[in-house]
Amino acid sequence: GPADNVDFRQITLQIVLGLAFLHGNSIIHGDLKPGNILRTRCGAIKLVDFGAAQSLFAGRDGAATTSKRFSLG
C-alpha cells in the first residue's frame, strides 16, 4: 500500500545519499547488494562490507585510477 511506497522511497533515498557521500569522497563501494545494506531498528540505512571498495583518484596523467587503500575519517 501507500505506506510501503513511502518506506521504499525513504530506504532508496538513504542508499543514494550514502553512495553520493562515498563517491564524493572518491570511494567506490564495489559490492553493493541487498546483503550489504542493513537497516537499524530506528530505520537508518547502513552500507556495509567495504572489502571490495576502492579509492578513485586522478593519476599524474589526469586519468582516473583506482586503489584498494582508503580511509573514512
Residues involved in catalysis = 31
Contact 35, 22 (CB under 8 A): no
CA pair distance 29, 66, nearest whole angstrom: 12
Cβ-based neighbour number of residue 1 at 10 Å = 5
